Amino acid sequence: MPSNSKSLLFKFLIWKYKHISERQFVYILSILVGFLAGMGTVVLKNLTHYIQLLFELNFFKNYQNTLYFIFPIIGLLLVYIIKQIWLKKHIGHGISSTLHAISKLNGIIPRYNIYASLITAPLTAGFGGSVGLQGPAVSVGAALGSNAAQLFHMNTKTRMLLIGCAATGAMASMFKAPIAAIVFAVEIFSLDIAFASLVPLLLASISAVVTSYMFLGTDVLLRFELIDKFEVNDIALYAVLGLVTALASVYFSKVFFAITNFFNQFKSRAIRLLIGGLAIGTILYFIPPLYGEGYGIMNNLLKGDHLAAIGTTPFNFDLSNIWIVIGLLIGIAVFKAIAMTTTFGAGGVGGLFIPTLVMGSALGNAFAKIINNIGFGLQVSESNFTLIGMTGLMAGVLHAPLTAIFLIAEITGGYELFLPLMIVSAISFTITKHYISHSIYTLKLAKRGELMTHDKDQNVLMVMDIDKVIETNFVILKPEMLLGDILKNAVSKSSRNHFPVVNDEQEFLGVIRLDDIRHIMFNSDLYDNVDAASLMHADAGIIDYNKDSMKQIMDKFKTSGAWNLPVIKNGKYFGYISKSKLLTAYRRQLINFTK
């Protein structure tokens, strides 16, 4: 930052401290962050839209089926070039990366995240990659929120709150659903819902929605008009739909993990691009509805036009046969997860929020069509089941049942379907949670013990920095050192009462405590006859710097009863952690979380 800008910022901060309270300034920043997140979403949507307009040119329309194969590969190639030549940085999945920044980086998000997804996500989705824009929108907004907090020197807790405000703003702007956006931030990012945090979330949500209205008008991404009322007699069928969406959610998650692991085998990004690009091009050539985000599928199914949702395919199917239509809809649901994950594997940038809704809409519509045509005299609303199928997939795949309920309720403009929304969400989430303990967003973080939850004690331990509690100013002994040398060169020169013993490779062998040699330290006859190897003993436990989380470190102190434990880093002795220093750091961090 130029010196003039720094001077102006410094003057502003002084003025702010004198005239604006901390809470008022947080409210102002939440409005600003909501606006910026809204603008980021607007830019993402517009860039994607303009790229997709290429397909409306007459020249491209003549070769549309072929371009379904070629265009996604071109988009992925452009993203690859941008990553390799310009950014030279990794662009993670938006929501997962944001959760990692909250849990392990104190909410510090690099500045390049502001524009990285803003450029690469429209190229991926605009050229046909089967991904959504919600994740990148959250990534852009979160980076804006984090950097705004850093610019104005806000503390860690406020920085994390502003990231939550940004996520709220991105969701609110994308769907024009301000209440669901707040629920989304609380549910996904585990934010406290105390009044102090609720007001900034409300302000950010309102600011983002108003921004979206200003630049995009009042049109919504999902157009739905409730025509068919909820029928009590359909409750059992909604329960079955909940079961179906739960199984589909488990399938979605398993496919995501399997394909991701497959691509992770290849260290070269060029090979991933080659394999993934050809695969996604082939999938889209044979199943054109999977091209891009998929709003066309959802909106056409919601208004009852399944022919427009399916579109044209290379095969001459008889679409007057309802069972062929049902089969194609199930095929769309099955292959959406494959197409999305393959796009990611090939290096594409996007989100999985919208693909989840697409899969749910196709599955819900197919389920309703089966009921209406199976011959039992049953008749249900296909549009309602389409909508509620989306709820079931969102609740299951994202592990976000409340977000699913409120988002769909807001989209419908009322709460007439609230009961079936709750039934399907609850069943789908409960069953999926049993088989998939964590969502796609959170699984890796949870495995590493880095997932922020509503458990405040666990969150405090998670954000603690192990480097700040490790002490390294201990006198190190060698196993061949004699008692006389130990007393002269270690005990007399140290204020510590324990001394680690390591070999020439810096491997930890054991420890000698002052109490271990107190009874012989004045016996000079032993000075040249007793060495450290014969005096040392194993410590009560060992902390592995590379593997142990703060919670595991706390547990080791609890189970061992020790006041000091050695730390091993990369197999070498690194230092000690004292129980007193660890508890002091914990108390300080707890104060930061609760004040």
Rounded mean pLDDT of 431-454? Answer: 69
Cβ proximity of 427 and 242 under 8 Å: yes
Q: Which residues contact 124 (CB under 8 A, 6 or more apart)?
A: 75, 76, 79, 131, 343, 348, 349, 350
The H-assigned helical ranges of 415-503 are 418-435, 443-447, 456-463, 483-489
Q: What local confidence, expressed as pLDDT, does residue 578 receive?
A: 84
Q: What local confidence, expressed as pLDDT, does residue 451 receive?
A: 52
Q: What pTM value is reported for the model?
A: 0.76
Q: What local confidence, expressed as pLDDT, does residue 536 receive?
A: 86
Alpha carbon distance 397, 463 (integer Å): 27
Q: What local confidence, expressed as pLDDT, does residue 329 receive?
A: 92
Rounded mean pLDDT of 88-111? Answer: 73
Alpha carbon distance 78, 67 (integer Å): 16
Closest to 332 in 3D by CA, of 368, 386, 283: 283
Cβ proximity of 166 and 138 under 8 Å: yes
Alpha carbon distance 292, 221 (integer Å): 14
Tens digit of each residue's pLDDT (9 = 90 or more) over 69-82 = 788 888 889 988 88
Rounded mean pLDDT of 95-109? Answer: 72
Q: What local confidence, expressed as pLDDT, does residue 391 receive?
A: 92
Tens digit of each residue's pLDDT (9 = 90 or more) over 206-226 = 999 999 888 877 666 676 777
Alpha carbon distance 569, 401 (integer Å): 41
Q: What local confidence, expressed as pLDDT, does residue 426 receive?
A: 94
Residue 193, pLDDT > 60, answer no
What is the distance, to the nearest Å, from the Cα of residue 220 to the centroid of all Cα atoms in its chain?
25
Joined tokens for residue 249: 């959610």
Alpha carbon distance 169, 277 (integer Å): 33
Average model confidence (pLDDT) for the chain? 82
Per-residue three-class SS string for 102-135: HHHCCCCCCCCHHHHHHHHHHHHHHCCCCCECHH
Give SS3 for 569: strand
Torsional sign, CA 497, 554, 160, 109:
positive
Confidence of residue 447 (pLDDT cuts 50, 70, 90): low
Q: What local confidence, expressed as pLDDT, does residue 130 receive?
A: 85
Q: What local confidence, expressed as pLDDT, does residue 59 receive?
A: 53
Tens digit of each residue's pLDDT (9 = 90 or more) over 528-577 = 888 888 888 888 888 888 888 777 888 888 888 788 888 988 888 988 88
Closest to 37 in 3D by CA, of 131, 184, 221, 162: 162
Domains of the chain in start order, with CATH, are 3-216 (1.10.3080.10), 232-457 (1.10.3080.10), 464-594 (3.10.580.10)
Q: What local confidence, expressed as pLDDT, does residue 432 receive?
A: 92
Q: What local confidence, expressed as pLDDT, does residue 452 receive?
A: 54
**Residue 566, φ and ψ in degrees, nearest 5:** -75, 150
Confidence of residue 239 (pLDDT cuts 50, 70, 90): very high
Alpha carbon distance 456, 404 (integer Å): 25
Q: What local confidence, expressed as pLDDT, does residue 368 receive?
A: 92
Surface-to-core class of residue 53, CB atoms within 10 Å of its CB (0-12 exposed, 13-18 middle, 19+ buried): exposed
Alpha carbon distance 388, 511 (integer Å): 63
What share of the chain in percent tops pLDDT 90? 16
Confidence of residue 485 (pLDDT cuts 50, 70, 90): confident
Give SS3 for 464: coil
Q: What local confidence, expressed as pLDDT, does residue 437 receive?
A: 80
Q: What local confidence, expressed as pLDDT, does residue 221 receive?
A: 66
Residue recorded with tokens 């496919």? 255
Residue 60, pLDDT > 80, answer no
Residue 308, pLDDT > 90, answer no
- Better-scored residue on pLDDT, 90 or 397: 397
Cβ proximity of 160 and 107 under 8 Å: yes
Rounded mean pLDDT of 239-247? Answer: 94
Residue 91, CB half-sphere, CA atoms under 13 Å: how many?
Answer: 34
- Better-scored residue on pLDDT, 588 or 548: 548
Question: Of 156-165, 259-268, 358-367, 384-393, which gets the smallest average pLDDT?
Answer: 156-165
Residue 227, pLDDT > 90, answer no
Alpha carbon distance 437, 456 (integer Å): 20
Rounded mean pLDDT of 299-315? Answer: 81
What is the distance, to the nearest Å, from the Cα of residue 265 to the centroid of all Cα atoms in its chain?
22
Strand 543-544: give its sheet, edge to edge. 470-471, 572-578, 564-569, 543-544
